[in-house]
Amino acid sequence: MLERLQGLRSQAERELAAVADLGGLEAWRVAFLGKKGALTLALRDLGQIPSSERPAVGRLANEVKAALEQAYEARAEALRRSALAESLTRGAIDVRLPGRLQALGYLHVSTQTLREIYAILGQMGFHVLQSPEVEDDETNFQLLNMPPDHPARDMWSTFYLNRPGMLLRTHTSPGQIHAMRKYHPEPFRVILPGKCYRYEQVTVRSEYMFYQVEGMAVGYNITMADLKGVMFSFARQIFGPERKLRFRPSYFPFTEPSAEADIDCILCRGKGCVICKDSGWLEILGAGMVHPAVLRNGGYDPDQYSGFAFGMGPERIAMQKHGISDIRLFFGNDLRFLQQFA
């Protein structure tokens, strides 16, 4: 038995020295030290030898097992170091090579359009004023001439919040109240850009979240002619001098009189398509003279002051400028679409 154990140790050490990788090392461990390994099987025969020889055989068996386990750990560490060194050599970086250029980010097409709007209206004396996206019912509706039972509220499908009386703004028009209360009693011209939210079906021409730019001017002797002059100048600068612009009567509770402005559809050249509803015209903004009640709610005396307001959709404008036929592309995160405007 003693000779068997010595021979087993010698065989194990020879085979361990020949192991070249961690996979082979695991196979060696199973073959010699595993539950069904050669050393375990040899120790099962310990009960068959005379009792007088068992102490010496037991001591030798423990020495062999300890020696093989120690040899196994040493070989495992050596193989791990070798694998790491090989990996570092294979993945080494040649610092003499030129670095890889980082791809630069770019502005979203909606942001580009918003900045163009800011620049054009900024030349006319309008400056940007931010207003909150979460509003209360009073500011979003009531101070804009729409009490709780007013049927005009049906024009805006509203996202109401869990907190009573709070909602996601359905339009940027509540910014009119914030602007008047900020600048009262001085005349002013501002634009109020931001996101709006409506509980509406998503189609090629409408989204449940979209941008709007509200514009407002309050002062002395402001007339509808001033509003039309600003709109015609804006349309010529952003769409080009060849585009046609028309005004048609409309209704908004917070302006009187009210109008909508359309341009001839660039996509179909006025022939009619799904975007312009086969009319050949596409609405780009709503506008009108600020209602006296709204002026009064903002702190201005309508007998002394007058003003106009307008609201436009940057995505609608971008669709016309770039020939985009589906508004859902703006927020679909398709890089093939977005990278065209890099």
CB atoms within 10 A of CB 246: 11
For 182-220, the pLDDT digits (tens) are: 999 999 999 999 999 998 888 887 888 999 999 999 999
User: What residues does each domain of the chain span?
Assistant: 2-90, 109-341
Beta bridge partners of 219: 306
In this predicted structure, the answer to whether residue 294 has a pLDDT above a threshold of 80 is: yes
Q: Mean pLDDT throughout 100-129?
A: 92
43 phi, psi to nearest 5 deg: -70, -20
Residue 21 has pLDDT above 90, yes or no: no
291 DSSP 8-state letter:
P
pLDDT of residue 69: 79
CB-CB contact of 342 with 325 (8 Å): no
Q: Which long-range contacts (CB under 8 A, 24 or more apart) does 41-46 make?
A: 42/1, 42/4, 42/5, 42/8, 45/1, 46/1
Average of per-residue pLDDT across 281-301: 93
Out of 195-199, 253-257, 264-268, pick the least confident: 264-268
- 109-341: CATH, from 3.40.190.10, 3.30.930.10, 3.40.50.700, 3.30.360.10: 3.30.930.10
Beta bridge partners of 128: 191
